[in-house]
Chain A
Amino acid sequence: MSASVTAEAGAGRGEAETSEFLVEARGIVKKFGAFTANDQVDLAIRPGEIHALLGENGAGKSTLVKMLYGSLQPTAGRIFWKGEPVVVTDPGRARDLGIGMVFQHFSLFEALSVTENIALALPNASDMNALAARIASVSRDYGLPLEPRATVADLSVGERQRIEIVRCLLQEPKLLIMDEPTAVLTPQEADQLFLTLERLASEGCAVLYISHRLEEVKRLCHASTILRHGKVVARVDPSKETAASLARLMVGADVHAIRPKHARVAGPTRLYVDQLDLPANGPFAVALQKVSLELRAGEILAIAGVAGNGQSELFDALSGERRVDRAGAVVIEGEPCGHLGVGERRELGAAFVPEERLGHGAVPAFRLSENVVLTRDSIFADAARRLLGFLDFRAADETAARVSSAYDVRKGKPDPEARSLSGGNLQKFVVGRELDRKPLVLVVNQPTWGVDAGAAALIRQALVDLAADGAGVLVISQDLDEIFEIADRIAVISRGALSPGYDAHVMTLEKVGLLMGGAHGGSEAIEGALKLREADGRAY
């Protein structure tokens, strides 16, 4: 680790120096009941600085920025704006000061137009036509093209984020807070965002940047504050660190790298999808168009794509939550099962882990043992029990305990309700529950979404091991780092169409990005396809 870590006491800031900072938080404490989310946190940002706020999930990053933005009030501590103490009572006050925020989960109104969405954040905007013209000019000026009259529901995730950014820009902010802005962007869109942020910084605007992607933090940010368990553990210059040293500071221990597995032997076909069409089931849903894929024993096929391009529809069609009339559209272990439901597909040896762990993957109010029964009822029913309809809860308890210990599920009591587990622990349990069945085919949607680094590494390792043992693993993920870490082959889903699966070692971030945006139509698509062909030529 490079030795630029400044001790917790801070960089010896004197009172006289405070005015050099645009915003300064001193001794911030935030308690939720008995839980301390922020403990004596100090944070100082200069004008024109892109400042990274780093930490694992639950380290207190979002809590801290919500207090800066006035959505939450600190239990103790003070906030200084240009050296003057201020109380940020609500987001309106924050906007008056010149603080803009782009949220992790977008704060947009789907049924409203772009202009209306932006007007809601500008208290003095009354002339909609003038505002629309301003939006068009500012968005063009910053290279963030937007159609002011479009309805948000019709827009892609990247376009939605542009709305959020333009909304902040129109407020002429002096501090822009961005909470994980690139999590939902294609690499190309992220590059465009970095250009915009660098330009803003050069114009004197400070940026507080929250991200899990350490490479982009290294590239973009001038300074960083690292939180662990609600406390500041380091202040470093990220450009002088490595991604590994930053991760070590965040986690407080080495994050173990995924063990590479043995050379893959192409085994028999586990899952075969043939020209699967699925109509959209709502105005904002995506239709699947002639999706074909083949998943063989021993491999991990990853499906990349920007959220909302048909991932959940594909998962539903594979798991049997939505059936198709043509049985041959989905073939599991040689058995046509397009018309079969979830339970029947499980009996063929398939297992499914949906994206939404609480409410879809597990019933919140059920104990873990009861949640075990839900995906494995047939196993607990021997002939006599099946006849009478009784369940073997002792076996369920044992299974829950086995899964918990095998996958390091940390919990308060032996058999708690699913909702009392933290996101990472519940995800480990939901994945472990399926792996415990030793499935032949595993389909998992967003395996490590919103899960901290330690749990994510454990889950990814488990997926790699499962494939090594001869199962076929299909991973749908938006996290490209994850995909490149574990996948043997990579396909990209875009607007409901699936690209062919490319070998992971010939895929590049750029190529994935082109495929992500490639099918979006127009000359862009043709250009993308041409570039892709070039890239292909080089790779082979």
Chain B
Amino acid sequence: MDQSALLAVLLTIVTASTPLLLAALGELVTERAGVLNLGVEGMMVMGAVAGFAAALTTGSPHLGILAAAAAGALLAVPFGVLTLNLVANQVATGLALTLLGLGLSGLIGERFVGQPGVRLQKLQIPGLTDIPFVGPLLFGQDILVYLSIVLAVVVSWVVFRSRTGLILRAVGDNHASAHALGYSVIRVRWAAVLFGGALSGLGGGYLSLAYTPQWIENMTAGRGWIALALVVFSSWLPSRLVIGAYLFGAVTILGFFVQGLGVGVPAQLLSSLPYIVTIAALVVISTRRGRARADTPACLGQPFVPDR
């Protein structure tokens, strides 16, 4: 393989991994607070359509980014009201949220189908970006790629080093104790759910603004579910999440690449690779059950009702 082909592959891996990383980071924070939101797919696809629409109507991809995050957070609001305030079942509500997001985005996006979108520009730093091979890879990405890495570092620091993160983990580990100590469990969880929604929306927005700047119905194509699996895969650690997201991005792209080389493997098998790897990863993790359970936020998915 020559160098330019390798560069192309690596660049696409970055683009394929970033939406996974963004959405999974948000879900990681949500789950650290003890809330299981299975609506990632729905929030991503809403982010995709909102980002596309905003960028197209205003001509600014940056407004598109903001709109994507806002749309994801907005869709998380009914989830929060139902599961946190009205104590509905989190799994059922999350699944409903995905269905709602997919349907709603199809409706909103109907008139955008087939329209060319506004692409988020890649960074161009004179001198640095021009360095052969390394330049485009390290200094020629779009801002969301850098944002996703910065966010991973920030989330990691906040969760494990700051008081805010300590409270977040406490609420996820034992909500009754956190309540007894005087922390507002519901408020912390609301913040985590909204953050998770915004980052899922951002991940979806990346798809319609940078990955393929157009709107296609159901364009998230199951990435929300992969993001959910990644959170478990990473044992709720942001550093491992970065590795996991890039691993899955790489598997996806290598599938396409192998197809392009004309290897005699059925295309369907190759495009199902990421999902097979997801299942394999989950199986491996669940066989180390003891350890995985120790990492799991103990209150994950459990409803909380403060006593009177």
Contact = CB atoms under 8 A, between A and B. Distances in A.
A306 B298 CA distance: 23
Interface in B106-163: 163
A443 to B, nearest CB: 27
B170 to A, nearest CB: 5
B169 A112 contact: yes
A119 B166 CA distance: 9
Contacts of A153: 294
B240 interface: no
A91 interface: yes
A531 to B, nearest CB: 36
Nearest to A101: B180
Nearest to B166: A116
B174 A109 contact: yes
Interface of A: 32, 70-72, 90-92, 95, 103, 106-112, 116, 119-121, 126, 153, 280, 282-284
Contacts of A32: 308
Nearest to A167: B181
B294 A109 contact: no
Interface in B286-308: 289-291, 293-295, 297-298, 307-308
Contacts, number: 63
A91 B307 CA distance: 13
Sort A-B residue pairs by CB-CB distance and give the 6 closest, nearest first: A107-B177, A91-B182, A92-B182, A283-B294, A109-B173, A107-B180
A90 B182 CA distance: 6
B177 A108 contact: yes
A118 to B, nearest CB: 11
Contacts of B166: 112, 116, 119-120
B90 to A, nearest CB: 20
Given A72-B308, A282-B293, A109 B182 contact: no
Given A71-B180, A108-B177, A112-B169, A283 B293 contact: yes
B176 interface: yes
B191 interface: no
Contacts of B289: 282
Given A109-B173, A112-B170, A126-B163, A121 B290 contact: no
B51 to A, nearest CB: 36
A95 B180 CA distance: 12
Contacts of A110: 173-174, 298
A103 B294 contact: no
Contact of A107 (B163, B181, B298): B181
Nearest to B160: A116
B180 A91 contact: yes
A32 B307 CA distance: 11
A109 B290 contact: no
Contact of A111 (B176, B298, B308): B298
Contacts of A111: 169, 173, 294-295, 297-298
Contact of A109 (B169, B291, B307): B169
9 contacts: A106-B177, A107-B177, A109-B173, A109-B174, A111-B294, A111-B298, A120-B166, A120-B178, A120-B183
Interface in B41-72: none
B182 A107 contact: no
B308 A283 contact: no
Nearest to B171: A109
Contacts of A95: 182
Nearest to B294: A283
B167 interface: yes
Nearest to A94: B182
Given A107-B180, A111-B295, A121-B181, 19 more contacts: A90-B182, A95-B182, A103-B180, A107-B176, A107-B181, A108-B174, A108-B177, A109-B173, A109-B174, A110-B174, A111-B294, A116-B170, A120-B166, A120-B178, A120-B181, A126-B163, A280-B290, A282-B290, A282-B293
A90 B184 CA distance: 11
A72 B177 contact: no
Contacts of A283: 290-291, 293-294
Nearest to A106: B177
Contacts of B167: 120
Contacts of A71: 180, 307
Interface string B69-96: 0000000000000000000000000000
Nearest to B183: A120
Contacts of B174: 107-110
Contacts of B176: 107
A111 B308 CA distance: 27
A112 B180 contact: no
Contacts of A112: 166, 169-170, 173
Interface in B168-209: 169-170, 173-174, 176-178, 180-183
B172 to A, nearest CB: 8
